[in-house]
Structure 1
Amino acid sequence: MDPRASLLGGVRDRLALFDDSRRSRSPNFAPSCSVFQFTGLDELLVSRLIAWLLTPDGSHAQGPRFLNAFCDRHRIARPPQRRLRVELEVPTNLIDRIRRRIDICVLDDAWSLGIENKPVAGFQDRELADYLDQLRRRSPACATLVVLKGWEGGLPADQMKEPGMEEALKDGSLVNADYGDVQLWLAECAGLSEASYVSSLIDDLRGSLQRWLSGGMNMERQRIVVGSIMDDDVQRDAALELLASTDHLLASLSDRFVRDLERELAATKFSILPSASPSRIDLPRKAYLDLELDEALPFKLSIAFDKGNLRLPYIGLRPRRDTTATGRAYSRLRRELALVGMPSQSSYLEWWFWWTYASRQQFGFEAEDTVAVWRSLGNGEFAKRAVNMVEDIHDRLGRVGALNWAVFSKAGSGSQ
């Protein structure tokens, strides 16, 4: 038997057992249920949640135990047993660069803890030196800055070249941490909490952070796959051969999706707009697949993937030409679409004035579930669902009057 066929058969059997087991226990544990699926996670929300846990008189009712655990984990002297203030976006008003803000501060009259939360963002010029300077001016005797990065490894070299930063790292007034440390601290907090609801919420946050920072990859499934191949030399070599062909696999999935979508659109009045590339629409390289809704409209509907390798699919509206989507008519249309059940994921992006990730309700899978996305692209289901979504968007554009753009763009004193 072809070792690749044996490999795929073995992986399929293991995953089938895994899925059967998960389905059997789902009614008791609801493993995919999360409050954060309704809110989403971003840097600001995560900072608010961390600040809440660090607040001794917070609604979690657990007193200072979460804050003490954070300090102990990072070898920081615990704060005095006085009333502490926990603040977000604290301005650097004691130094020359007053426009900067520290993400989280836990403050006492003579004790300062600053936390710079960087799960995905980069650093500004001499940012950490400024924050540490601010904290030291406020509390000369006891000031600490903790940097929470979304990745392992050292702090950026350009931040550490500033005078005194290496010494601060050695003496503990500057702490280099990452989200692995955050997860360990959250696990400790869940165990410390005497309130079952708070423990459950913290565990939910841990799982949601893992999905967010890993781009939605279901690592439990990945462990099942790896475990099914690593003990067999032939299957391991076959797996490596398949991994080496991933780019070709993604290109094939992309091309098949475009062909399937063209076929599904043939029965509608919509069509795929010509690509900038003369040969193919390279979706794995984060290209846009643009669809024509109506030639009279100054915008088009686009399908794209937020991550490389066909991950996190989203669909949205953007100007026909690559101009910034900030006109008043676009803002009004975004508000009108929200009123008819089509809220945007954010106010607007630079080139998009309305967009949303693929949802289970619309596409049959969660946008973060890479395996489900690939499966849907390969079996033609994504194309069918996408056409339904296009028709729905066109219908709602008509309901808010946007298909008559000449009238819509002038209404309410708005202009393009």
Structure 2
Amino acid sequence: MSDAKQKIEIVDSLARVDAASWDALVDASDPFMEYGFLRALELSRAVGEGTGWLPRYVLSYRADRLEAAAAAYLKLDSYGEFVFDWEWADAYHRAGLAYYPKLVVAAPFTPAGGTRILVRADTAFEASARPVVDALVSLAEREGLSGVHLLFVSEPELAFLASCGFLPRLTYQFHWENNGYADFDAYLEDLRASKRKQIRKERKKVADYGFRIEVLEGADIRDEHVDAIWRFYRNTTGRKWGEAYLRRDSFDRIAELCRERLVLVMASEAGRWVAGTFNLCKGTKLFGRYWGALEDYPGLHFECCYYLLIEYAIERRLQVVEAGAQGEHKFLRGFVTRPTYSAHWLAHPGGRAAIERYLEGEREQTRAAIEGYNGVSPVKRVRDAAGRRG
């Protein structure tokens, strides 16, 4: 390095990093880049040998102070990323090129946006982030990886990464946004009459089940709640995907190390837990992560994953609820279509050129999709804004 006081280290475990120093780098509204969440995944062996996610944390020190970092993982496949590049891997294979292993900078199994190159707030972002980006590329070159991929980056970070030679990718999600609502009814008044009627009907149906539904935080969360969430999670993954990314111990570790971030919505009947959601909250954002139920109760998913979280956000004056990837049913209930971003560096010149052409066309299609959704949004102010841009 040109600055003798600056040092880059790459470690395979956060056990070798001071927790407070790491957390001093993390965004005010991002719980997934925090030491506790990432360390919980390590300790529960959700990441590490045998998982397809091999940690390679890049650390930049200046005068022995951690100034910037990136949670990077050597990936042997594309599972658990939610920015889909299986077509790229297939194209590489057909061209006789190896797409795996690759390097990914992300919160594992988590499609939530935030800054991926973590930098102390009291330093200049680009000057501090650039050595980390250079170290990521050097690591890929040194280990013969096909590329470096930063997933769900912030919009300002995307522009910086583009200046570093990364290709920008545009995708989208559906987010609920707080327009200064006084209560849930005020939110409903922002929607089309047909949607208000639909939501009230759905909530009444759930009320008629007679379940007790609680929102639990912090010290109110007990082992029995975590046990139930694990059962719900396995029921959902067993029905939909067959294999769970998280382990039983992952939920215990997250509850232990991230308890002040946890928000659970739990439904019970006659003293038995029947459904629930596992969510994290930090700053102005609430993130829905995992849902499950012992049986199919029509409408209960919407109540626990959307409506009660919206009520929680309004009461606490949170600005955004991110309820995960995909799901047009969110849009139909007043969630707004918002862009999400990732950035990609490809080592092979031909592979890079082909993916760059692909991304150019995809961006146009994605912009059109975002405008198309927002142009017919159930939320009047969103429709109006899309009309003005159009």
Taking structure 1 as the reference length, what is the TM-score of the superposition?
0.26
More helix by share: 1
More strand by share: 2
Structure possessing the higher radius of gyration over alpha carbons: 1
